[in-house]
Amino acid sequence: MVHKFQVDCRTCGATILRSGPFLLVCFLLSALVILTIYPTGRSKLTVEVSVKHNDSKGRESSQEQCNLFSGKWVFDDNSYPVYREKQCSFMTDDFACEKFGRKDFGYQHWRWQPHHCDLPRFNSTAFLGRLRNKRLVFVGDSISRNQWMSMVCMVESNIPPILKSVHFDRSFFRFHANVSSSLILIQFNCFRNSFNEEVCTDPKKKKNNLCRRFIDYTSYYQNIVLKNEHCTYM
């Protein structure tokens, strides 16, 4: 079964990219959705969280759904980043804020808090296990590449160096973890290939190039995080 999650990142433009933690909402919600559906094997969102009950009737339910998309960002002094920039084996200079002199790291302590439940901390081992022998693809522009890079850093720390690798080929970025759980993270840069707004101006090109290519991708990749806005460069 192909799981397609459409993440609307209209609010995640270049301005918000510079404003700290708010860019993370698109990425974190995408990861949480993917992470939580696999225990049931259904597309219906079933979340393994601690649900906050307000009455005795609610306490009797051992499993209850939670709307991950209804919540707010909270600053948590006691939390710590799920990865450290200097410890990420594949961090590139494009995203190395600390390497190039950033001093304010308070943005790393913001976390997403749903209104009616508590989310567990990201567990890279569990994430890899639930994506066993599957592929996770980010399709979009530089924002999607930022999300892809963050995901790579979040999962690679517990994998021995000999069992992980990254390959770059123009707009195609691939992270492969050859362990008991096999995970491939791929990012397409719509500024460099046919996933861009110009292709959509001609209905024939849209049908023949964009849609057909995307259908081919969905048949091969089990999980796709699609940014549905045009490139911020255009």
pLDDT band at 220 (very low <50, low <70, confident <90, very high): low
Q: Phi-psi category of 41—alpha, beta or left, where left has phi over 0 and alpha has psi -120 to 50?
A: left
pLDDT of 114 above 90: yes
pLDDT band at 215 (very low <50, low <70, confident <90, very high): low
Alpha carbon distance 117, 53 (integer Å): 9
pLDDT digits (tens, 9 = 90+) for 28-69: 555 554 554 444 343 333 445 566 655 444 433 434 578 888
Q: Is residue 233 part of a domain?
A: no
Q: Is 8 exposed, middle or buried (0-12, 13-18, 19+ CB in 10 A)?
A: exposed
pLDDT of 113 above 90: yes
Which of 75-84, 136-145, 178-187, 221-230 shows the lowest mean pLDDT across its residues? 178-187
pLDDT of residue 14: 33
Alpha carbon distance 149, 167 (integer Å): 12
Q: Is residue 14 part of a domain?
A: yes
Give the range of the structural domain holding residue 184, as residue numbers without chain letter: 3-227
Of 204 and 2, the one with more pLDDT: 204
Q: How many domains does the chain have?
A: 1
Closest CA to 7 of 71, 91, 68, 50: 68
Place of tokens 């079933």: 46
CB atoms within 10 A of CB 96: 13
Q: Is residue 234 part of a domain?
A: no
pLDDT of residue 49: 58
pLDDT of 72 above 90: yes
Alpha carbon distance 50, 52 (integer Å): 7
Closest CA to 26 of 84, 83, 93, 73: 73
